[in-house]
Amino acid sequence: MGKIYDALEKAKKEKAVITGPIPANMSEPPALQAPVTSLLSSIKANNISNKLVVVTAPESYEAESFKLLRAQILFTQNRERPRTIMVTSAMPGDGKTFVAANLAASIAMGIDEHVLMVDCDLRRSSLHMMFGVSNKNGLNEYLKKEKNLQDLLIKTCVDKLSFLPAGNVTRNPSELLASSDMKAFLEEVRERYDDRFIILDTPPSQVLAESNIISNFVDGIVFVVRENATPRDMVQKAVASFDKDKILGIVVNGHTHLQKNRAYYYKNYYQ
Ligand SMILES: Nc1ncnc2c1ncn2[C@@H]1O[C@H](COP(=O)(O)OP(=O)(O)OP(=O)(O)O)[C@@H](O)[C@H]1O
Ligand SMILES: [Mg+2]
């Protein structure tokens, strides 16, 4: 194995959080428990995705995995708390949007933390669908100086979680995201919302240049690997292309083995 793979294995041992696949029978959000009971009406009204597991299934294994990831990010002792965090992966469909949405909601559902979630996938945005909100205007319009930031932010069903959608599909996303305006945007939100974490959903780093560009402007990176899907060499290349010190955690998404073990553990625990 190459050095990068060894480093990844080491990072995985130290920082990996593993999410199982969402059970296939979870088509309807199960009944909510306090303190999120009040969200039930907005879930129905807003068409929130059942993949937003920290809201729709707060007692599930998957929601627990996100609490663990949250704790890893917020309470690690030997570094400063990262304020701007991007979620990325090597390939399309690894689960970046799934992780970004659930991580952002999980942090905002804590007692003190406020979160601004930003969809930086200007080609194939989907973060808005997780929350059942509009994608009409957003980062694209802000970077093109067509709208003010305050007019673009959307409140979500989760208290303390606001959202800047990607906006209209644009023909020049790389140029927009690589521009000094994007850097200025992150500096502005950092300063203006100095009590907030900023979570960025991004495109796949081995297919498009955008994530690597954005990584220069953020404090930390959460890297998603889809089990049995993301090719190993792509993971190696992707991890090597980022500043290793910025990688806060690796999420192994869709880990079936774990779910089986957990099912076994639960079955035995409750018997
Ligand atoms: N753990 C999981 N269990 C079940 N479904 C999942 C899981 N993670 C992601 N998915 C589903 O897989 C699909 C791809 O996930 P997602 O959109 O989060 O990937 P992505 O990396 O953001 O993709 P893209 O690169 O196109 O932006 C979505 O339909 C999502 O809901
Ligand atoms: Mg996505």
Sheet holding 17-18, edge to edge: 17-18, 247-253, 220-226, 84-89, 196-201, 114-119, 161-164, 154-155
Measure 260 CA to ligand 1 centroid, in angstroms: 20
In angstroms, rounded to a whole number, what is the distance separating the alpha carbons of residues 227 and 225?
A: 6
Chain mean pLDDT for the chain: 82
CA terminus-to-terminus distance, the chain: 43
Percent of residues, the chain, with pLDDT higher than 90: 58
Minimum-distance ligand 1 atom for the alpha carbon of 91: 25
Domain 3-21+36-270 has CATH 3.40.50.300: yes
- Tell me, what's the pLDDT at 21? 57
Measure 94 CA to ligand 1 centroid, in angstroms: 6
62-97 pLDDT, tens digit per residue, is: 899 999 999 988 887 777 889 999 999 999 999 999
Residues 6+ apart with CB under 8 A from 90: 204, 205, 206, 225, 230, 231, 234, 235, 237, 238
Q: Which residue has the tokens 């404090």?
A: 219
Beta partners for residue 226, in sequence order: 253
> C-alpha angle 157/116/182, rounded to 5°?
140
pTM (two decimals): 0.84
DSSP 97-158: HHHHHHHHHHHHTSSS-EEEEEE--SSS--HHHHHT---SSSHHHHHTTSS-HHHH-EE-SS
Query: Can you tell me whether residue 73 is helix, strand or coil?
Result: helix
- Tell me, what's the pLDDT at 206? 87
Query: How many CB atoms within 10 Å of residue 189?
Result: 19
Question: Would you say residue 116 has pLDDT above 90?
Answer: yes
- Tell me, what's the pLDDT at 30? 37
Minimum-distance ligand 1 atom for the alpha carbon of 99: 18
Tell whether omega for the bond before 165 is within 30 degrees of 0, i.e. cis. Answer: no
215-256 pLDDT, tens digit per residue, is: 999 999 999 999 888 889 989 999 999 999 999 989 999 876
Minimum-distance ligand 1 atom for the alpha carbon of 51: 31
Q: How confident is the model at residue 31 (pLDDT cuts 50, 70, 90)?
A: very low
Which residues line ligand 1 at a C-beta cut-off of 6 Å?
19, 21-22, 51, 89, 92-98, 121, 124, 126, 204, 253-254
- Tell me, what's the pLDDT at 3? 45
Q: Which residue has the higher pLDDT, 143 or 171?
A: 143
Question: Would you say residue 40 has pLDDT above 70?
Answer: no
- Tell me, what's the pLDDT at 212? 93
